[in-house]
Amino acid sequence: MNLIDLQLDNELMQQLDANVVMRALGDRISSNLCLWGAIRRHSTIPVRVASSRTYLYRLDMIPGWNPGADPDKLERACELFIGNHDFSAFSRPDQDRAPIRTVDDCRLWRRPDGYVIGLIISAESFLWNQVRKIASCLMRVSNDDVELTEIQQALSFPETARDFGRAPADALVLWQIDHQDAPESWSSELPSTAVIPLSGNTEPRAFQRWRNMALVEIRLMLEFDWTIRITR
């Protein structure tokens, strides 16, 4: 999901409604994109200044992920990231941005049978690579390579923390953006996806074939959600 701010001539704006704008733009964008709404804005708050962003990350797509990991331990690890912290150890260094961020929600994304698909994380704003580095850290937790106390130490004393790595970008989805001008109808429930579980066979070729299917599942999840939105 993303938001754009389209500025048009005032006289032209009076002649257009949401459907006309949607058709005009929809005919000109890539088929890999989907427009599902247009509104007249009521504030001057930039669209990039969101009240909240929610990312999904498929942890099971990270090479080295342990599908048999203790979900309770992983959930406790997720909870450590909630709150106001210095995320220097979990982001790309950037002299122009303060490393302090407040994470409002961080929990496992799971199937009804308990299988851990990935991570759900929400905050007003994120740092570069923050979600991917947190995901990589959780992968290490799944293999007992990182203990919960080490995460606590990294959040309290980031200057002494080790490099937790950075998970691949293709398993990351910006699922939801909340903005003052965005109507409630643009919100979407967490997707129910019939993912094919990662088996215990971590042989590289078998994992790559499975991962290719997982990428297709992400695309299907998005297409399904887009179809629901535009047919409401």
CATH number at residue 136: 3.30.70.660
For residue 93, is it within any domain?
yes
For residue 230, is it within any domain?
yes
142-200 per-position pLDDT tens digit: 999 999 999 999 999 999 999 999 999 999 999 888 765 666 656 667 766 667 788 77
Domain extent at residue 207:
50-232
What pLDDT is attached to residue 12? 66
Alpha carbon distance 57, 59 (integer Å): 6
What pLDDT is attached to residue 203? 84
Q: What is the mean pLDDT of residues 64-81?
A: 96
Cα atoms in the Cβ-side hemisphere of radius 13 Å centred on 118: 29
For residue 98, is it within any domain?
yes
**Cα-based angle 95, 97, 98 (whole degrees, multiple of 5):** 100
For residue 70, is it within any domain?
yes
What pLDDT is attached to residue 224? 77
For residue 107, is it within any domain?
yes
For residue 15, is it within any domain?
no
For residue 23, is it within any domain?
no
How does residue 127 score in pLDDT terms, banded at 50, 70 and 90? very high
pTM: 0.83
What pLDDT is attached to residue 161? 92
The total number of structural domains in the chain stands at 1
pLDDT of 98 higher than 70: yes
3-51 per-position pLDDT tens digit: 666 666 666 666 676 677 767 676 777 776 766 666 666 666 566 666 6
For residue 64, is it within any domain?
yes
